[in-house]
Structures are given as structure tokens and as C-alpha cells.
Amino acid sequence: MSATITHHPHAASALALPQHLVRWEPSVAPVLSVYVDWCVSGRGLHEAAVLLRKQLHAAEQIALPHGEVARSLRDDIERVREYLAEGLDRSTRGVAIFANHARGLWRTQTLRVPLPTCVHVGDYPALLPLAEVLQDDTPCLVALADTTQLRLITVRPSDVAQDAQVAMDTWGSARAGSRSGWRRGHVQHAQATQLQCFASAAADAIGEALARARIHDLVIAGDQVIAPALEAALDGEARAALRFHTSIDIRTPVEEVVKRVWPAVVLEAREERAAEVDAMLAAAGGSAALSSDPAAIRERLAAGLVDTIAFDPSVIAPEAAEYLLRTALARGTHPIIARDHEALAAAGGVVARYRTAG
């Protein structure tokens, strides 16, 4: 993969977690949160199924009052088993399930990336595992092209979509002219003109796809002929969205395109988040607008006075991490989950940027 051509920050956006889960109010019956790694092993099996069975069995043994409360949890566990037994789409790599039979909660989400297998029973939905995956869920448009065709593939963990192909078979006429005795210069000029026309039409299609899907990240996948021509033809907004280009054959299956492009997009997003956390930590010592004091951060977060909060769930307690995440999303605060960030861990695992007046 080539070096990055244009570097720009990912557009900061709120994690797309359902608000009824974020704002869940506890009741007597607990919420069952289930995460499953649904990848298929080399033996053709869902290896996580064994671990999941053990964890669901352990959840059944939780001491609850008799009657409707205990029945709600048992019904939820049985429904999870039935849902997974019915079979899922072959593209599914991870599953998140939230259930509370007593209050009519049943929410499932399938993703194209794996999730850690775990079962949680508690007063609130366990949102952190899903949030960590969705934090990387920056939509990316892959423009897969050669000199006559364009395929537009929208990539994200929760979905992969492919637009109809845009094809312009213009190179054939130039080659035909070559056989008719055109001078080399005429052929080269015709080919360059036709390539420019195709690149212009393809760039228009790319710009329309970015705007229609509200995507801010673009990858061009093409050879050394079409890639620079496409880049040159992009308008200002599309060029600003370009993260890098790489060489992928136009006939490559969608799943293989995703495997080759997505990790690089995720890596850049993580590096940008880490750089933002570094900047917050550097400013926290001498600015009243930032803080790494957990007590002060929780107080201001609850009051809606925090603009951005970064925390390391491998340092702070799981309950604290879930609280920070829920409260941030409920108060319109931008959360950054920075797992295994050394400087953040050394500072106590949390740092926040406060909202400025006005």
C-alpha cells in the first residue's frame, strides 16, 4: 500500500449507539447483554459457541428473586440461544444482543468485524464492547477503478454496500484507430483525452457517492495510470476526503477489498485519536479548560460541561468506564476510548476537555 497522499482528521461524530440503551433507566429485572465472536474457524466452526454456552449457563445461575424477575432473565437467555441457532448471514463476524423481557427490550446488531465473546447481566446495558468497535466504524468509500470501469464500495463494520458499476469503454476506439494506421502521437493524444474524460466522469460519480452517503473518507484503488488521473479530477471536497490509494484489481470480490482496505483506515483513525489524547494530556497540566482529575471530570460530565472525554477502560474499573460512556453520550460529549494508551494510563486513565463559555 502506498504512503498516505492527503492526511486529514476523521470527522468527529457521536457513536451510533441506540439512545434507548444509552438512557436506560434500571428496573427490578436485569438487562442481559451478549457479545459473540461469530467468526468461522479453519474447521468451519463457530469456536466461540462453546465459551458462550458456558457464560449463558453461568448467567442462569445468578441469584434472583423468584417470579417474574427470574423468569425475565431465563426468557432472555433462551431467546438468545434460539436467535443464534436460527443462523445468521454468512458475512456476520460479530453479534451484539441486548434483552430485557420484562420491559420488552430485544435489540440485535450484526457486524462484519468480530466482537469479544462475553455475557453481562446488570442494571444497565453493557455498551463498551460495541462502542469500541463502532468507534472504528468510520465509513469509507473505496473507488475501485481501471481505465474503463469504476466500482464504488462503501465499507464499514456494520455494513458493506456496492453501487452499480460505472463503465465507459472508450479505450477500444483508440486502439481500433491504431490499427487503421494513426500516427503514434494521434493515438497517444486520443488515449489521453479519453482517459481524462473517463476520470472526470468517475470523479463526478465519486463526489456524488460521498455526498449521498455523507462519507468523509475516500480510498482510490487503481493502477499507476488511473489513480493519479482520478485524483487530479476530484473536486476540492472529494480530494480532501482522500486518505490514500492502493492497487487492487477491478475484479476483486467485495469481501477481499474490505480485508485489504479496512485495516489501514482503522489504523489511521486510531492514530488520530491517540494524537488527540496526547494533545489533551499535554495541555491538561496548564489549562483550566482541561483536567485529568477523575472526581472533577465526573462532576462536570454529569452537568453537561465536558466537550471531549478520553478514558482507558483497561485502567479504570469496568463500571466506571460504562458510566463515563453512557453519561458522555447522553450529555452530547464526544467520547474517545483509548485502550492501552500509556500516557493516559500514567495520568490515571481519564482526561477531559471542558466546554468553553459561549
- Residue 296: give the domain boundaries: 285-354
Residue 286 pLDDT grade (very low, low, confident, very high; cuts 50, 70, 90): low
Residue bearing the bigger pLDDT, 70 or 13: 70
Looking at 267, 295, 326, which one is the last position of a domain?
A: 267
Q: For 310-339, give one letter per residue: b (16+ CB within 10 A) or e.
A: bbbbebbeeebbbbbbbbbbebebbbbbbb
The verdict on 151 and 226 lying in the same domain is yes
The verdict on 172 and 194 lying in the same domain is yes
Number of structural domains, the chain?
3
CATH number at residue 191: 3.30.420.60
The verdict on 167 and 115 lying in the same domain is no
Residue-wise pLDDT for 148-176, tens only, equals: 899 999 887 666 566 655 544 444 444 44
Residue-wise pLDDT for 51-67, tens only, equals: 999 999 999 988 787 78
Residue-wise pLDDT for 242-262, tens only, equals: 988 899 999 998 888 888 888
Looking at 267, 297, 331, which one is the last position of a domain?
A: 267
Looking at 267, 294, 326, which one is the last position of a domain?
A: 267
Residue 292 pLDDT grade (very low, low, confident, very high; cuts 50, 70, 90): confident
Predicted pLDDT of residue 201? 92
How many CB atoms neighbour CB 239 within 10 A?
17
- Domain assignment present for 102: yes
CB 203 within 8 A of CB 211: no
